[in-house]
Amino acid sequence: MPATAPKYRRSHALVIGINDYKHASPLGYAVNDANSVADFLRTNFSFASKDVQVLLDQDATRSAIHKSFLRFSGEATHVDDRLFVFFAGHGHTERSKRGDVGYLVPSDGDPDDLSTLIRWDTLTRDSDLIEAKHILFVMDACYGGLAITRALKPGSIRFLKDMLQRVSRQVLTAGKADELVADLGGPRPDHSVFTGHFLDALDGAATSEGVLTANGVMAYVYQQVAADHESNQTPHYGYLHGDGDFIFNPPNIDDIDTDESKDEDILVAIPGSAGAEEQQSELTLVDKAKSLVANPEDRIKLHELVVKETRDVLAAVTTNTFKVQGTWSEEEFSERISQYNQAIADLRAVEMLLGFWGTDTHHDVITLPVKRLAEQVTLSSGLNVWLGLRWYPVVALTYCCGLGAVASRRYSNLRAVLRAQLPDQRQRSATVSLVDSMFGDFAEISQAFKALPGHKQNYVPVSEYLFKELQPVADDVLFLGADYETQFDRLELLIALESVTVTEGWGPIGRFGWKHKNRSGLASPLEALIAEAEAAGNNWEPIQGGLFDGSIDTLKKSVEQFRPTIEELRWF
* Any domain includes 22: yes
Rounded percentage of the chain residues whose pLDDT exceeds 90: 69
The answer, yes or no, to whether residue 257 has pLDDT greater than 70, is no
Do 298 and 238 share a structural domain? no
Last residue of one domain, picked from the residues 506, 522, 545: 506
* Any domain includes 417: yes
Do 397 and 266 share a structural domain? no
* Any domain includes 95: yes
Q: What is the pLDDT of residue 149?
A: 66
Cα dihedral angle (139, 143, 149, 155), rounded to 10 degrees?
A: 60
Q: What is the pLDDT of residue 278?
A: 47
SS3 track for 355-398: HHHCCHHHHHHHHHHHHHHHHCCCCCCCCHHHHHHCCHHHHHHH
Mean pLDDT throughout 41-66? Answer: 97
pLDDT digits (tens, 9 = 90+) for 108-145: 999 999 999 999 999 999 999 999 999 999 999 987 76
Which region, left, alpha or beta, applies to residue 87 given φ > 0 means left and ψ of -120 to 50 means alpha? beta
Angle between helices 345-357 and 411-418 (to 10 degrees): 130
Q: What is the pLDDT of residue 5?
A: 83
Q: What is the pLDDT of residue 487?
A: 97
Window from 94-98, 255-259, 484-488, 568-572 with minimum mean pLDDT = 255-259
Query: In terms of pLDDT, which residue wins out, 268 or 496?
Result: 496
Do 316 and 254 share a structural domain? no
Query: In terms of pLDDT, which residue wins out, 281 or 30?
Result: 30
pLDDT digits (tens, 9 = 90+) for 290-318: 999 999 999 999 999 999 999 999 999 99
Mean pLDDT throughout 88-112? Answer: 91
Pairing of strands 118-119, 99-104: antiparallel
The answer, yes or no, to whether residue 344 has pLDDT greater than 90, is yes
* Any domain includes 562: no
* Any domain includes 296: yes
Last residue of one domain, picked from the residues 251, 279, 307: 279
Which region, left, alpha or beta, applies to residue 275 given φ > 0 means left and ψ of -120 to 50 means alpha? alpha
Q: What is the pLDDT of residue 226?
A: 87
> Exposed, middle or buried: residue 230 (CB in 10 Å: 0-12, 13-18, 19+)?
middle
Residue 242's CB is within 10 A of a number of other CB atoms, namely: 16
Do 320 and 178 share a structural domain? no
Residue 384 contacts residue 444 (beta carbons within 8 Å):
yes
What is the rounded average pLDDT for all residues in the chain?
A: 90
Do 318 and 260 share a structural domain? no
pLDDT digits (tens, 9 = 90+) for 68-82: 999 999 999 999 999
Do 223 and 174 share a structural domain? yes
The pLDDT-based confidence of 37 (bands split at 50, 70, 90) is very high
The 3-state DSSP composition of the chain as helix, strand, coil percent (nearest 5) reads: 50, 15, 35
Window from 149-163, 220-234, 348-362, 476-490 with minimum mean pLDDT = 149-163
Query: In terms of pLDDT, which residue wins out, 4 or 304?
Result: 304
Q: Residue 337 belongs to what domain range? A: 285-506
Q: How far apart are CA 207 and CA 506, in angstroms?
A: 46
Do 156 and 37 share a structural domain? yes
Name residue 255's amino acid: D
Q: How far apart are CA 455 and CA 58, in angstroms?
A: 49
* Any domain includes 381: yes
Do 373 and 498 share a structural domain? yes
What is the pTM (predicted TM-score) of this model?
A: 0.81
pLDDT digits (tens, 9 = 90+) for 359-395: 999 999 999 999 999 998 887 888 999 999 999 999 9
Mean pLDDT throughout 146-158? Answer: 75
Q: What are phi and psi of 280, to 5 degrees?
A: -100, 100
Last residue of one domain, picked from the residues 249, 264, 279: 279
- CATH number, domain containing residue 189: 3.40.50.1460
The pLDDT-based confidence of 442 (bands split at 50, 70, 90) is confident
Residue 196 contacts residue 186 (beta carbons within 8 Å):
yes
Q: What is the pLDDT of residue 277?
A: 46
Beta-sheet strands, E only, within 243-326: 267-270
The answer, yes or no, to whether residue 281 has pLDDT greater than 50, is no
Residue 247 contacts residue 163 (beta carbons within 8 Å):
yes
The pLDDT-based confidence of 98 (bands split at 50, 70, 90) is confident
Query: In terms of pLDDT, which residue wins out, 456 or 405?
Result: 405
Do 260 and 145 share a structural domain? yes
Provide the number of structural domains found in the chain: 2
* Any domain includes 541: no
How many alpha carbons fall within 13 Å on the CB side of residue 511? Answer: 20
Do 350 and 248 share a structural domain? no
Do 215 and 322 share a structural domain? no
DSSP state, 329?
Answer: -
The answer, yes or no, to whether residue 475 has pLDDT greater than 90, is yes
DSSP state, 317?
Answer: S
Q: How far apart are CA 46 and CA 362, in angstroms?
A: 53
Do 273 and 310 share a structural domain? no
Q: What is the pLDDT of residue 110?
A: 95
Residue 366 contacts residue 417 (beta carbons within 8 Å):
yes
Q: What is the pLDDT of residue 497?
A: 97
Q: What is the pLDDT of residue 416?
A: 98
The answer, yes or no, to whether residue 508 has pLDDT greater than 70, is yes
* Any domain includes 17: yes
Which region, left, alpha or beta, applies to residue 272 given φ > 0 means left and ψ of -120 to 50 means alpha? beta
The answer, yes or no, to whether residue 39 has pLDDT greater than 70, is yes
Mean pLDDT throughout 43-49? Answer: 95
